[in-house]
Amino acid sequence: MKHERPDTTQGRSTATHLLLGALAFGSLAATQPATAQALRDGRIGYVMTERRWAVYETEDGKTECPNGFNLGPREQFAILFPASSGKVYTEVESHLMREGLAFHDMESKEPFPFHDAQGPISYGLNLDGKIGPNDFQSPEGVKGVDNQLYRAIGCIGAYRLNGVVSFFDTDDMYDNGYNRWMIELTGVDDLVNDDDVTVTTYRGLDDLQRDGTGSAFAPGSTQEVDVRWGQSFISQLKGKIVNGVLTTEPIDRLKWPNSQPGVASGYYIIRGSRLELQLTDQVAKGFLAGYVDVESFSHQLNTNWATHHQSYGQLSASSLHRALRRLADAYPDPKTGVNTAISSAVQLTLTQVYLVHPQKKTVVAKSGASSR
C-alpha cells in the first residue's frame, strides 16, 4: 500500500548503505521499458541466485582471527593419532570414532582450542532491537548487529569468501532445484515506497536462466511454484518498502532449503527470521537474518558435507557444533533453559522471475512442521 515518499537521505538501513553503490546500475536499468513490467498486478517475484553466510573479513584474517584459523579434520586427526608415535591404530578407535563423533558429540568436550572471530565489526541485522555487549557494529556503523554465528564460523576457512562452503553453497545450488528458493511480494503499489506488502516464500521447479555471458542470471524468466512437494518451504511475512529497501517483520520459524548434490535432504530452521533487501525490478539483494536452530545447522552440515569436503576448509563438524551450542543466544529450551538457536545472517542475491502458480490458493506451511 502506498504512502508518502520520505526524505531519501535519512534513515537508510544497513542493506541500503551496503548495496547502494552496487545497485546503481540496477537502478538505472529499472527505468528501462523492458523491465518495467516486472511488477504486475501488485506482484513481483525473485529467485535466489547467490547465498552466503555473512562473514566479515579483513586481509588474511589478522583482525578477526588473531590466533589463526581453526583446525580441520585432517589436522585434528594428526594430533590425536600421530604417525610419529609408532603405534598402529585401529580403524574403530580412530577413523570410525571420529566419524561417529560428528553425529553424536553431545556428551563429549572439545579437545582442541577453538578460535572465535574477534572484533567489533560484522554484517547482519539488529535482531532483538537492543545494543548488547556481544553485539557487533556493521561496517557502515549500524550498532546492535546480532550475528553470533559469525563468531563460530568466522575463523573457519570453509566459510570465508573463498572457502569451500561459501563457494559450493551457491555453485551447487544452480543445478540442484531442491534449493530453488523464491520470494514473491504481493500488494505492492510502489517498489520504492509501500508501507504494507506481503512476502511469501516458495520453492520453484525450474532451472535458473543465465544471461548471454553464461555466468550471470537474467531477470524475466519464469518459475513454477512447487506446491506438491515444497509446501513446507512456503512461509509468509509482512513487510514494508522504504526507499527501495524491503524490511519484513520476523516470523517465528522459516524452513530454508540447502542441500548438496546427491542428498535428498538439507535445510536450516531459522527462528525469528526476517528479510532486509534492496529492491529493483531486476534484483533483490541483502540479508535473510534470524536465529538459526543449532541442531538443524549441524544436521545439514553432517548430512550434506562429507568429512573429506569439510577437510578442504579446515571445518571440523563436531568442533563447530560445540561452538554453536556455546554461542547460541536465543530460544532457550523450556526444560533446560539452554539456548537452541544462534543469531545469524545470510547474504542473498535474488533475481527477478515471474512466478507461475499452479493453484490459486496459497497454503502456508504449518508452524509446527518438522523441527529438525
Partner 1 sequence: MRPPLKLFWALSTGLVLVVVVAAGALRGGTPLLRDADASAKGATAGESFKYWQSPDNPEYEAYREEPMPPGFQVVVADFEGPVFADERGRTLYTWPLRSLRNGATGDREGKPSACTDEVLRVTAGLMSPYPAGLLLPDLDTRPSCVDVWPPVIAPKDAKKVGKWSVIEREDGTPQWAYDGYPVYTSILDQQPGDVRGGTKMDSANDGGVVREPIGPAPAVPPEFEVIQSTSGRLLVTKQRYSVYTWDGDEPNVSNCNKECLTEWTPVRAPQIVTERDGWTIVKRAPGINQWAFRGKPLYTYNYDRGLRSFWGADVPGWHNVYTQRTLPPPEGFTVQDVEAGGEVLADSRGRTIYLYNCRDDSFAQLACDNPDSTQAYRLAICGNGDPKLCQQTFPYVIAPPGARSVGRLWTVMAIDPDTGRRAMPGQAALNVWAYRDRPVYTYAGDDQPGVTNGDGYGEFTGRRNGFKAFVFRDIFQSNAFRP
What CA–CA distances, in Å, run from 166 to 62, 169, 273? Answer: 20, 6, 21
Nearer to partner 1, 154 or 257 (CB): 257
For 157-206, the three-class secondary structure string (H helix, E strand, C coil) is: HHHCCCCHHHHHHHHHHHCCHHHCEEEEEECCCCCCCEEEEEEEEEEECC
Tell me phi and psi for residue 332, to 5 degrees: -65, 145
Q: Using CB under 8 A, list all residues that contact partner 1.
A: 73-74, 77, 83, 88-92, 94-97, 99-101, 103-104, 176-178, 205-206, 226, 228-233, 259-266, 299, 302-308, 311, 369-372
Closest alpha carbon to 200 in 257, 242, 254, 278: 254
Question: Is the CB of 118 or the CB of 232 nearer to partner 1?
Answer: 232
Q: What would the grid cell of residue 241 be?
A: 518498502
Question: Which element (helix H / strand E) includes 276?
Answer: strand 267-279
CB of 207 to partner 1, least distance (A): 9
Q: How far is the CB of 124 from partner 1 (least distance, A)?
A: 28
Q: How far is the CB of 219 from partner 1 (least distance, A)?
A: 22
Q: Are 276 and 301 in contact (CB under 8 A)?
A: no
In the chain, what is the greatest distance between 2 CA atoms, to the nearest angstrom?
A: 76
Cell of 193: 515506497
**Residue (232 or 236) nearer to partner 1, CB:** 232
Nearest-angstrom CA–CA distance, 165 and 305:
9
Report which of 359, 353, 360, 357 is spatially closest to residue 44, judged by C-alpha positions: 353
Pick between residue 92 and residue 161 the one whose CB is nearest to partner 1: 92
CB of residue 182 vs partner 1: minimum separation in angstroms? 15
DSSP letter string, 313-325 = TT--HHHHHHHHH
The three-state secondary structure class of 293 is: strand
- Cell (9 digits) for 62: 589478522
Distance in Å, CB of 341 to partner 1, minimum: 18
**Smallest separation, CB 57 to partner 1 (Å):** 25
Select 118 or 303, whichever has its Cβ closest to partner 1.
303
Grid cell 519484513 in the structure block, residue: 248
For partner 1, give the closer residue by CB, 62 or 308. 308
3-state DSSP call for residue 100?
helix
Identify which of residues 56 and 267 has a Cβ nearer to partner 1 in the complex: 267
CB of residue 25 to partner 1, shortest distance in Å = 33
Report the nearest approach of partner 1 to the CB of residue 232 (Å). Answer: 5
Q: With respect to partner 1, which residue has the nearer C-beta, 177 or 220? A: 177
